[in-house]
Structure formats: C-alpha cells, structure tokens
Amino acid sequence: MKIVKTSIDKIKEYRADYLNSLPEFQELFLELLLNDSDCYLIYLYDEKIGYVIVNEDNTLIEFYVAKRYIPSSNKILGQVIEDLSISEIYCKSFDSLLLSNCLLNSFTYSVVGVLYRDYVEPLVIPDSEIEMIKANLSSIELLINQDASIKELFETEDQLMSFIKYENVFEFYKNGEFVGCGMTIRTNSDWDYCDLGVWVNPLKRGKSIGSQIILKLREFAIKNKMKPSCGCAIENFASQRIIEKSGFVSRYTMISFKTN
C-alpha cells in the first residue's frame, strides 16, 4: 500500500463519494480546516482505493476507502496513522466507518462538539420587531469592534470580508439598537447545505435574541433553497441553549480520538 500526497482537486471525485455516503452532511468546522491541510491518495497495487486528509497539526479529518476495501479499512487506517504520524482523529459520530475503526482500535476519546442536523418546533415565538439587514463592506468596522466573543463567527478581518463578499452575513436590530449578527455559510460550494452562525451583543444576552436570530437565518436559508444545520463546541453551553431554543436538536457529536 502506498500513500501519496496530492491536491484537493485530485480527490474531488472520491470526496463526492464520501460526502454522499454519509447519512448527514459535512460539518463546517472540518471543511474550514481544508485550506491548511494536506490531501493524500491511497494506492493498493497501483490502484487508487481512497484518500485521507490531514491538517497541519497531524490530525486526520477525513478518511475514505472504496466499498470493496471496507473489510480491510482498519488495516489501511493503521498504516495511514503510522506513515503520516497521525496523533489525533476528528470523527463525526455519523461517519460510521471511521467511528467503527477508531473504536476497534480502542483509541481514547473525548466529545468536543455537538452537531445539530434535526429540527422540531421552536421553543420561542418569532419576534417581528427584530430587523434583519444584509451586511456589506461598510459593516466591517461595526463588527470587528465588538467584544472578543465575536471571533466565534470569524477569526480575522480578512475572513469576515470574505464571508461578506461571498456568503450571507446579516446585522440584526431591535427598536433601532444593534442586537447581534448572524451568518449562513455554505458548507461546500458543490452542495446546498449551509451552517448557521450567530453572535449576540453582550448587552442583549439572556433575552432569547440568539434564538430569534437563528430562526430568521433558518428561514432565509430555506427560502434560498439551502439546507441549514448548526454546530458548537461541547463546552459552549450558552450556544447549545440558543440553538436548541430555536428548534434544532442533536443526535450527533464531534469526537476527538487520540492514537497514542
């Protein structure tokens, strides 16, 4: 078996097979790691049989082998871990092949994220007084000058600028006061899934503003023929409450497995 470094475009067909094989769609957190990750094709007797993606911290974020090689997948994963010095694996709990192989190896693990893919009746009544305004480049100064917690939505000014240019970023107001912002970010440009992100002005927290923002973002996404989802860190209980009050429910988690 050989593991050969390649580019993201060379694994595009295999990635499509992988993403289509999942019962739920990819998590934006992992998709955003691709820019700082390396892609590898897996060969057996000069035949391509799958791929793996590893980020700059030697964390495996995607593993795929063609169906006929699934019986050998645990052995293949073992060689990937050894050859690429993998120290950690990020695994969505609905990625059954990767999850099963990690459990078969008895890797130690911790749950690091909550993934929301299902939706029920919201626990809040929509607030018609909250106004939703599309952000533009002139919004950057307003947003970057908020408190540090807004970095949960964007890490740098350049990233915010990119989101405003190519995605959907919104400012939210109630009675003329700025109460928060939100985003719908397409998870992958080739699919119609999107992730909803929300930030609430600290002075307006504890009033269900975050849940109201998610309601409006979800409505926007559906009207624009996108399929919305959410995710947050396991320790972020405030975000979990906001998301769940808006009607999202979670059956899945993000798991970190340590290989040594």
pLDDT digit string, tens, across residues 34-44: 989 999 999 99
Higher pLDDT, 108 or 155: 108
For residue 258, tell me if it sits in a domain: no
Beta strand ranges found along 165-206 (DSSP E)? 168-174, 177-186, 193-200
Closest listed residue to residue 169, CA positions, set 193, 153, 189, 157: 153
Residue span of the structural domain in which 76 resides: 2-106
Residue 103: is its pLDDT beyond 90?
yes
Instruction: Please check whether residues 236 and 129 belong to one and the same domain.
Output: yes
d(C-alpha 45, C-alpha 53), whole Å: 21
For residue 168, tell me if it sits in a domain: yes
**pTM exceeding the 0.85 threshold for the entire prediction:** yes
Instruction: Please check whether residues 133 and 239 belong to one and the same domain.
Output: yes
Mean pLDDT to the nearest integer, 220-230: 97
d(C-alpha 169, C-alpha 143), whole Å: 11
The residue among 85, 106, 127 that closes a domain is 106
Instruction: Please check whether residues 130 and 232 belong to one and the same domain.
Output: yes
Identify the CATH number of the domain in which residue 167 sits: 3.40.630.30
Instruction: Please check whether residues 145 and 96 belong to one and the same domain.
Output: no
Instruction: Please check whether residues 69 and 146 belong to one and the same domain.
Output: no
Instruction: Please check whether residues 84 and 131 belong to one and the same domain.
Output: no
Instruction: Please check whether residues 249 and 129 belong to one and the same domain.
Output: yes
Instruction: Please check whether residues 183 and 91 belong to one and the same domain.
Output: no
Helix H segments across 84-231?
Answer: 96-104, 140-144, 157-166, 209-223
The residue among 76, 106, 136 that closes a domain is 106
For residue 45, tell me if it sits in a domain: yes
When divided into structural domains, the chain yields a total of 2
pLDDT digit string, tens, across residues 122-138: 999 999 999 999 999 99
The residue among 86, 106, 126 that closes a domain is 106
Please, which residues have CB within 8 angstroms of residue 95's CB and are 6 or more apart in sequence?
A: 22
For residue 259, tell me if it sits in a domain: no
Q: According to the model, what pLDDT value does residue 194 have?
A: 97
Displacement of CA 173 from its chain's centroid (Å): 27
Instruction: Please check whether residues 130 and 238 belong to one and the same domain.
Output: yes
For residue 51, tell me if it sits in a domain: yes
Say if residues 226 and 194 touch (Cβ distance below 8 Å).
Answer: yes
Structure tokens at 106: 């008895």
Per-residue CA distances from 249 to 7, 36, 230, 244, 256 (Å): 36, 31, 9, 6, 21
Q: According to the model, what pLDDT value does residue 32 have?
A: 93
Instruction: Please check whether residues 85 and 8 belong to one and the same domain.
Output: yes
Go through the chain and tell me how many residues it has.
Answer: 260
pLDDT digit string, tens, across residues 36-81: 999 999 999 999 999 999 999 999 999 999 999 999 999 999 999 9
